[in-house]
Chains A and B, each alone.
Chain A
Amino acid sequence: DVKVTQSSRYLVKRTGEKVFLECVQDMDHENMFWYRQDPGLGLRLIYFSYDVKMKEKGDIPEGYSVSREKKERFSLILESASTNQTSMYLCASSRGTVSSYEQYFGPGTRLTVT
């Protein structure tokens, strides 16, 4: 079974703090993704990576950065957390080909910024 794990299910941080969200997958997938999920907006792509040390901006990258030093790990960084970044964050991974294969999701991290 594909397994995607995220470092925390719930996280509470203060405005201005630096926040790290970690994601690890065990299926040797090339592609990894970070989304945020907000009511009424569905899932929106923040960043994705198709290889180690490679990253691409998604639809809403502002206020976020990412790091992929190893194939299995993809980190999302909030340099200075703000209250409008309170959200559910979902990590996913998939095979890396020109065709699009299904993404496998982690359980999510519910981040509250106070």
Chain B
Amino acid sequence: AQKVTQAQTEISVVEKEDVTLDCVYETRDTTYYLFWYKQPPSGELVFLIRRNSFDEQNEISGRYSWNFQKSTSSFNFTITASQVVDSAVYFCALSEYNQGGKLIFGQGTELSVKP
């Protein structure tokens, strides 16, 4: 069965701290896709990244980086030098091949960055 677990419900950090959001997934498929979305207080989910199961290279985009490890079924997200604007709920999601693009979401992690 497919499942995504984000064990951290809430995280609070002070500005400029680094923070890592954990994501663990379960799937029996060998071809699948992993995503991260950001939901700021305005409510609209914003796409951050998509990885397929055959690409385990870590990715960096500015202050954001992602660590994909198939051996531990994890796809963790790190924000370096956090800023107040990073405060949001972050969702990890999983989609399996040929499933019509359906996403299975984790419960979300609410990140609060204080000045």
Most buried by A among B32, B47, B101: B101
Complex Cα distance, B99 from A75, in Å, reads: 21
Contact of B115 with A by CB under 8 A: no
Q: A100 with B45: in contact, given A42-B105, A50-B100 (CB under 8 Å)?
A: no
Shortest CB-to-CB span from B49 to chain A, Å, is: 9
Per the 8 Å Cβ criterion, residues 59-114 of A in contact with B are 88, 90, 92, 94-108
For the complex, is A27 an interface residue (Cβ under 8 Å from B)?
no
Which residues from B are CB-within-8-Å of A96?
100-101
B35 in contact with A42 (CB, 8 Å): no
Among B43, B46, B50, B105, which residue has the most Cβ atoms of chain A within 10 A?
Answer: B43
Interfacial chain B residues near A100, Cβ < 8 Å: 32-33, 50, 95-97, 99, 101-103
- A98–B97 contact, CB under 8 A? yes
Total B residues in contact with A, Cβ cutoff 8 Å: 27
In the complex, how many angstroms separate the beta carbon of B11 from the nearest chain A beta carbon?
A: 15
A25 interface contact, C-beta 8 A:
no
Number of interface residues of A (CB under 8 A): 30
List the interface of chain B (C-beta within 8 A of A).
9, 32-33, 35, 37, 42-47, 50, 52, 91, 95-103, 105-108
Other than A33-B103, A50-B101, A98-B97, give 7 A-B pairs with Cβ distance below 8 A. Answer: A97-B101, A100-B101, A102-B35, A103-B47, A103-B101, A105-B37, A106-B44
